[in-house]
């Protein structure tokens, strides 16, 4: 009985090369589908099952307790001298203090009448007129009022993520969270050869006019939001001062919860969508 002949070296090398190529392809595919901007960078710390025991009245706390997320218990006499809460790690420095913002924050309540923010009615009407030219109807997604050289979402987010001043033009902040396809709702301008072509489509739909004011429960009460908040949950996109619309700015834009004082409209807030919008993690833009 003769022994089986071994395959020629050329066939063996081809088989090894084929296995190597398939392995590299599979690894590259798995890395490619996992390394994208939809992946959240937040890391959830593991749960600790051990319980740290220490004397509440003693200032000598072990390094293991200090390194954990747990806040060591302190005596009541030392609570006023201990910094806790979400801002406990914030240390004020000169390069982090915005003097102008801090000043306006103070005059919200302690107003010396020297730097009061007074929106102009003329600028408000002008801003509402410009906004109307970019929308098919009030509440519709605005068209893109400039040339689009790149259609990826990172290019849009670079200016409209937090809002910016680009020359003499204002790139308003997005009124909603980050979604993956801006051009799905925001129409791009026509190509240059067709820029001056007027294309009209027969349409009998007529939307409601944009509101110019809001109702109040009583004089000097916080106004009710005169529009729906669907896809418009970032109020500073319009009311944010420098990156907002002239005439629509507010005097207290550093406050973080607008709905705490400004109630939604029972007539306008009738969204038929029950599930929240699936926003994706925002890009990290900056140096």
Where b means 16+ CB within 10 Å and e means fewer, 244-270 reads bbbebbbeebeeeebeeebeebeebee
Is residue 62 domain-resident? no
Q: Which one, of 286, 74, 258, lies nearest residue 175 by Cα?
A: 258
pTM of model > 0.75: no
If you write DSSP's letter for every residue of 58-102 in order, what string do you get? Answer: -S---HHHHHSSPPPP--GGGSTTS--STTTT----TTT--HHHH
Does 243 reside within a domain? yes
Q: What is the pLDDT of residues 237-279, one digit of tens each?
A: 998 877 889 889 888 877 888 999 999 988 888 766 666 677 8
Residue 251 within any structural domain of the chain: yes
Structural domain harbouring 271: 117-194+212-287
pLDDT for residue 59: 47
Q: Is residue 122 one of the residues assigned to a domain?
A: yes
Mean pLDDT for 203-208 is: 83
Residue 155 counted as domain residue:
yes
Q: Is residue 163, in this structure, part of any structural domain at all?
A: yes
CB 137 within 8 A of CB 205: yes
Number of separate helices (H) and strands (E) present in the chain: 6, 2
In whole angstroms, how far apart are CA 217 and each of 89, 100, 119, 194, 250?
A: 40, 32, 21, 50, 19
Give the confidence band of 129 by pLDDT, cuts at 50, 70, 90: very high
Q: Check if the beta carbon of residue 279 is closer than 8 Å to that of residue 233.
A: no
**pLDDT tens for each residue of 211-245:** 888 999 998 899 999 998 888 989 989 988 778 89
Q: Is residue 136 part of a domain?
A: yes
Give residue 142's pLDDT.
92
Establish if 240 belongs to a structural domain.
yes
Is the predicted pLDDT of residue 53 greater than 60, yes or no?
no
Instruction: Provide the number of structural domains found in the chain.
Output: 1
Buried b (16+ CB within 10 A) or exposed e, 142-157: beeeeeeeeeebeebb
Mean pLDDT of the chain: 76
| Cα–Cα distance for residue pair 118/124, rounded to 1 Å | 11
């Amino acid at each position: 009985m003769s022994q089986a002949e071994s395959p020629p070296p050329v066939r063996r090398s081809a088989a090894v090369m084929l296995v190597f190529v398939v392995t590299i392809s599979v690894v590259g595919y798995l890395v490619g589908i996992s390394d994208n901007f939809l992946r959240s960078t937040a890391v959830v710390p593991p749960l600790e099952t051990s319980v740290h025991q220490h004397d509440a009245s003693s200032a000598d706390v072990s390094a293991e307790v200090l390194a954990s997320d747990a806040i060591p218990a302190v005596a009541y006499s030392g609570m006023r001298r201990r910094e806790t809460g979400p801002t406990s790690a914030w240390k004020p420095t000169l390069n982090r203090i915005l003097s102008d913002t801090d000043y306006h924050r103070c005059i919200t309540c302690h107003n010396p009448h020297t730097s009061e923010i007074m929106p102009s009615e003329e600028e408000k009407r002008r801003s509402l007129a410009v906004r109307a030219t970019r929308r098919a109807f009030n509440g519709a997604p605005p068209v893109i009022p400039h040339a689009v050289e790149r259609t990826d979402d990172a290019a849009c987010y670079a200016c409209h993520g937090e809002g910016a001043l680009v020359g003499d033009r204002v790139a308003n902040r997005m009124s909603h969270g980050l979604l993956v396809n801006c051009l799905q709702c925001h129409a791009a301008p026509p190509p240059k050869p067709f820029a001056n072509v007027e294309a009209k489509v027969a349409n009998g739909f007529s939307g409601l006019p944009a509101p110019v004011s809001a109702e109040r429960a009583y004089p000097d009460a916080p106004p009710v939001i005169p529009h729906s908040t669907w896809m418009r949950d970032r109020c500073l996109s319009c009311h944010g001062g420098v990156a907002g619309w002239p005439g629509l700015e507010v005097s207290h834009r550093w406050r973080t919860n607008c709905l705490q004082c400004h109630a939604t409209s029972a007539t306008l807030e009738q969204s038929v969508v029950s599930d929240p919008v699936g926003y994706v993690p925002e890009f990290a833009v900056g140096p």
